[in-house]
Structure 1
Amino acid sequence: MSSSSSSIAAPGTIPYHEPGFVDLAIVVSFLYFVQVARAIANRLLHAGLLGEIAVGVVYGPVARILHTDWQQTFLVVGYIGLVLIVFEGGLTLQPKSFLPQLPMAIIVALCGILLPLAFTFALFSAPTFGYPPLQAFTTGSALASTSLGTTFFVLRSAGPELGTTAVGEILKGAALIDDVIALVLLSVIQSVASGGGNLGWTIGRPVVASVGMAVVTPLVTTWLFQPLFRVGKVERLVQRGGRAVELFLGVAVLCAFLGIAYFTGTTMLLGAFLAGAFLSALPSPGSSISFVECWEKWLVPLQEHIFVPIFFASIGFSIPFLDLWTGARIWRGIAYSLLMALGKVLAGGPILVLDLFARPGPDATASLELNEEQRGEESGRSSAQETAIDPSGCTDAEKGRASRLRSATRVQIGRGGRSSFVRESLPCAAFVGLALVARGEIGILILQVAYTASTESSSSSSSSSSSSSSAGSSGSTLVLTEEPYLVGIWAVALCTIAGPVAFGALVRRCEDIVKGSARWGLQA
């Protein structure tokens, strides 16, 4: 009687009891080894997230140390880390440097979406693969995405100045646009998998919501909330309250934007980015209010040691590691991974095209002016010498000499332009392309949603006693079967691993070149 009464708890409560030693040891070891693995991966590969993903794989699908409900809890906690990564990107956004790069960011994002889709259709239609076009579209949609959290994380890890370069701003914009388009593609896949729905509204809702939020937020911030914050008593109250009030206001604004994004049908990560940009625009110039300093004081320690490690470990929970190791899956996965990495690297191609066909930049102009000045001085000295020899003057000789000097100058500038193209443009294009290679959470989300929908559809059709015609119609909803699903997981995993490693190596080798580029580096 006493045992049964002790197990009864009031609604909304749970009976409190001391956790077992095994449970405590599992959680403590998980949190500790995530930190250790990050430090080791940072030291060896300059990509700490690989160690965190590896710990997630071990504790999740390989050894199954963490219970499924614990993994779900850590996934939610880790997603807070992802939201905060993107929120920080918006908080440190500089509109004056970001907006001029937005057209190039759109072009880069479209290339990063269309190239992986085209490569997927080409590869999956080959006889050695032979996957249906619908499943090629589903897998290509997953690999057309970009891991927004990983992109912002590696950009932040590379150094604060690289994020303010022109290519850094292009990278932020392209990653955001990729994420929005991936959400649209996911909506289309879900609609096809369910076998109905208004496809036009399915596609249009996230697009309209995303564009609406991106356009309305700056306008409302500039014309409504900024004057109310500065003119009214709000700014003085926030200043008087100090960092604690700034933190409260930041959390409130972040939650509001997340809710707006979620219920309007777009990605919450866009809401997090816009929330950061909204907050950074509120204080008056010279005000003591600094949401960035509040962020660094209160949230950075939690972000670096708790939320971000758990986020990348939760990616490891979602990788079906043991199912990947068959001969066909291995070589197909590696081949597809290489092609998908190439698709994102080539997304940096518009930077090369613009540098190849654009007019000379500031360096070439300065070189031209210097050579013109030197040529004028040399021409003046030659004219004086010739005038001393021939008092009547030799204008034809002077013109010929000046013409030859101009030709030599053009050759010198042309060589300098080609040298600058190889020395500056290629690293800047690779900077953008390599940072977009990682797929991470978005790619896994699309693959798992599509595979789960197809599995449920096939199981329901096999369990029901239906006619052959209805069975054929249910088969049309199989948007992703096991083999292309695992090949896609291979590509997501390898791209998420290789992308940050290659990006880190590029930054260590070419950081000064990227920052010093006249067109793509640090802007005045």
Structure 2
Amino acid sequence: MATEPSSFLPYEEPNIITIFTQSAFLLILNVINAIFDKLIFCGLLGQVFVGVAFGTPGAKWLSRDVEGVVVQLGYLGLVLLVYEGGLETKFHALKANLFLSVAVAVTGISIPIALSFTLQSLVGATPLQAFAAGAALCSTSLGTTFTILSSSGLAATRLGTVLSSAAMMDDVVGLVMVQVISNLGGSFSAVTVVRPLAVSVGLAVAVPLVCGFVVKPVTVLFNGVRKSRPRGVVDRCCGGVYTPFVVHTLLLVGFVTGATYAGTSNLFAVYLAGASVSWWDSEVPHFEAVAEGGTPESSSLPNEQRNSSSDKSPENKDAAGSLLETGATESNKVQNEPTATSGTAVYHKYYAAAVQRILKPFFFASIGFAIPITDMFSGPIVWRGIIYTILMLFAKLVTGLWLIRLHTSWPKIRLPKVLRSLVTAPATCFGWMYGKPVKPSTNAHELQNRNNNAVTPQPTTRESPTATATMPTPTPPKINKPLSLYPAAMLGTAMIARGEIGFLIASLAETTGLFASSTTPSNSSSEIYLVVTWAIVLCTIIGPLGVGTLVKRVRKLEGKEDGKSEGESGPLGIWGVD
């Protein structure tokens, strides 16, 4: 028997069964995604079901080696999904709603952990096991969140900014919980718990400082060099076709590598990388070089302001006037389009196709690989899992209450005459001691207004004496209802999906023996793990399904297909604008 060489991998043509299975897997993932997106705007659910059917929980058509490769490539898709979410960050909306995002994240973390202690009476869990279950359910699936935002057209809205920021904060806390859970089974060290949180806070503080005090001055310096030497080495390097792609990719890889070795969430670092590129595109002045034979120009304004102000130049006055006469919608669309060197343009040119067709479907299919379908369908497990799911649905739905604004008008309080005299007695004594207030004299302006009112005829209506006498007394105003509950409902339902971080924490708690009990057989999953898995699975299904239904309803109310509100008058109000 010939020995297999160790210095290289021999090339072997895959058999026809392997070709058919893997081709069908990839094609069905994309077809089911298109169908579900068209119907309910959440094609990711179909991809999760396909993963269950093809993987170990279902028909086992894919080998364990193939599943491992799909999981690894799917995680690359998750990384690029989070990076795209960072590129969509609108800093004016983030600054205005930072406190709201923190409040939503704190609510979405604390309530699931608190409600998870009901497992002590539901399945006989210990306080430590209940805390581990709450840690698994406190995080929000970033891949699901950013996929919902991109497919529904809400990524660039204020609602999308609040949702993505809160989900990112939940994810950071969830990954800190990963370190906690992984050390609860062995020797517990405070360093392994504090380090991820400290590094995450350090990154959140250091990155804006570096951007403001290092990146921005260096960019201005390079702009000056390129302006003074239009065809120099610096100008050619910065103006190269592939320079933005190389710079953005190196930045992404550097953030991920640094965060991983520092001991914090690499997904948080990915989001910061995307947000940094978005900030550089929109908030930093850039140099513009014209084509060969022209004169280079430099602008001291960011891209968005420069595009809007360029139409106001004297040369473009006539064109601007004609555009205003024929409709400025097309002009606004051109201004809002990203430049060829922006992070969004680079992402869509080099990454988007692979992410959309291969990496993102693999990620959601890998979630389906982690669902133990065969162990979940027993009577006690099912009803306990459903009860725990209801609690976890409520725990995330309440985060939407932060977007409800009640316009209240309090009724006037009428005090009895005796009580009014007691209240006004000190003021009356004060007036006697220092003299009564002098009534302001009527000036000429007031006299003129009175004369005008006297001359102007007032419209009169003929009313019968009986109607005047029986006119009902005005009732105190009632509390007005909110104009729309759609933003609150969308935020709450979008925060429901748990996904990858929840499965990771639950799996760690199961493999370290934290969920095990004395009555659990060694070759089967523990009851707590199955109940927690039920909650994660159902929440991951119900969340996107609910958001898709709400988006479909909002689009129907708007009466158009692009999914965005026109100003603040749409169903989403101010939360549906950029």
Q: TM-score, normalised by structure 2?
A: 0.72
Look up the SS of the partner of 2:480 in the other structure.
helix
Does structure 2 retain, via aligned residues, the 8 Å contact 1:435–1:500? yes
1:421-449 CA deviation, whole Å, 9 max, x = no partner? 1x32x222112111100001010010001
Matched, 1:325 2:319: no
Structure with max Cα Rg: 2
Q: Secondary structure at the match of 1:125?
A: helix
- Counterpart residue type for residue 147 of structure 2: F
Report what 2:13 is aligned to: 18
Matching residue of 1:197? 188
Q: How does 1:147-296 map to 2 (within 5 A)?
A: 147-159=141-153, 162-194=154-186, 196-199=187-190, 201-232=191-222, 236-237=235-236, 239-242=238-241, 244-283=242-281, 284=286, 285-286=302-303, 289-296=341-348
For residues 49 and 457 of structure 2, what CA distance do their matches in structure 1 show? 78
Which residue of 2 is the match for residue 495 of structure 1?
539
- The answer to whether the 8 Å contact 2:389/2:535 transfers is yes
C-alpha distance 240-436 of structure 1, shift in aligned 2 (>3 A): same
Deviations 1:269-313 (A, max 9, x none): 111111112223335234762221111122111111111111100
| Inter-partner Cα distance in structure 2 for 1:120 and 1:456 | 14
Q: Structure 1: how far apart are the matches of 2:393 and 2:237? A: 47
Q: In 2 relative to 1, CA 324–456 (structure 1 residues): closer, same or farther, beyond 3 Å? A: closer
1:418 aligned to 465, 477, 480, which one?
480
Change (3 A) 1:329 1:288: closer
Letter in 1 for 2:188: G
CA contact (8 A) 2:515 2:526 kept: no
Give the TM-score normalised by the residue count of structure 1: 0.79
- Structure 2 residue aligned with 1:471: none
Matched residue, 1:8: 5
Whole-Å Cα distance in 1 between the matches of residues 145 and 46 of structure 2?
A: 17
> Closer, same or farther in 2 for the Cα pair 1:328/1:68, shift >3 Å?
same
Answer whether contact 2:113 2:135 (CA < 8 A) is retained.
yes
Q: Which runs of 5+ in 1 are unaligned?
A: 361-377, 390-403, 464-479
Structure 2 CA distance for aligned equivalents of residues 231 and 383 of structure 1:
69
Tell me what 1:93 maps to: 89
1:105 alignment partner in structure 2: 101
Shift of 1:225: 2.2
1:427 aligns with 2:486: yes
Q: Deviations over 1:194-251 (max 9, x none)?
A: 1x1322x222111111111111111101221233244226973455322x33222221
In the aligned structure 2, how far is the partner of 1:261 from the partner of 1:343? 30
How has the CA–CA distance of structure 1 residues 18 and 169 changed in structure 2, closer, same or farther, with 3 Å as cutoff? same
Q: Using the TM superposition, give the Cα deviation of residue 510 of structure 1 relative to its aligned residue in structure 2, in angstroms.
A: 2.9
1:40-189 map, 5 Å: 40-60=35-55, 61-121=57-117, 123-126=118-121, 128-159=122-153, 162-189=154-181
Residues matched between the structures, number: 452
The aligned amino acid for 1:32 is: L
- Closer, same or farther: CA 209–357 of 1 in aligned 2, 3 Å: farther
CA apart distance, 1:65: 1.3
Which residue of 1 is the match for residue 575 of structure 2? Answer: 521
Distance change >3 Å, CA 164–CA 327, structure 1 → 2: same
* CA distance in structure 2 between the partners assigned to 1:387 and 1:41 by the alignment: 62
* Closer/same/farther in 2, CA of residues 178 and 383 from structure 1, 3 Å limit: farther
Q: Is the 8 A contact 2:398 2:492 kept in 1?
A: yes
Q: How does 1:390-409 map to 2 (within 5 A)?
A: none
Alignment of 1:267-416 (within 5 A): 267-283=265-281, 284=286, 285-286=302-303, 289-352=341-404, 355-356=405-406, 383-384=454-455
CA contact 2:375–2:525 (8 Å) conserved in 1: no
Question: Any conservation in 1 of the 2:509–2:515 contact (CA below 8 Å)?
Answer: no
Q: 1:113 & 1:350 partners in 2: Cα distance?
A: 14
Equivalent pair of 1:454/1:481 in contact (CA under 8 Å): no
Change (3 A) 1:189 1:357: farther
Contact 1:97 1:523 in 2 (8 A): no
Instruction: Give the match's secondary structure for 2:185.
Output: helix
Structure 1 Cα separation of the partners of residues 75 and 272 of structure 2: 17
1:8-44 Cα offsets, whole Å, 9 max, x none, are: 231xx21222222222222112111111222232344
Partner of 1:444: 503
Q: Which has the higher helix share?
A: 1
| Structure 2 letter corresponding to 1:186 | V
- The root-mean-square deviation of aligned C-alpha atoms, in Å, is 3.2
> Hey, what's the Cα distance between the residues in 2 that align with 1:34 and 1:431?
26
Q: For residue 165 of structure 2, what is the amino acid of its counterpart?
A: G
Q: Quick check: 2:88–2:155 contact (8 Å CA) kept in 1? A: no
Decide whether aligned partners of structure 1 residues 197 and 336 sit closer, same or farther in structure 2, where only a CA change above 3 A counts: closer
- The offset of 1:380, in angstroms, is 9.4
Q: C-alpha separation between the residues in 2 aligned to 1:433 and 1:299?
A: 30
Contact (CA 8 Å) 2:129, 2:515: kept in 1 or not? no
Cα contact 2:515–2:528 (8 A) shared by 1: no
* In structure 2, distance between residues paired with 1:379 and 1:429: 49
Structure 2 unmatched runs, 5+: 227-232, 287-301, 304-338, 411-448, 461-470, 559-563
Q: Provide the secondary structure at the position in 2 that maps to 1:4.
A: coil
Letter in 2 for 1:145: S
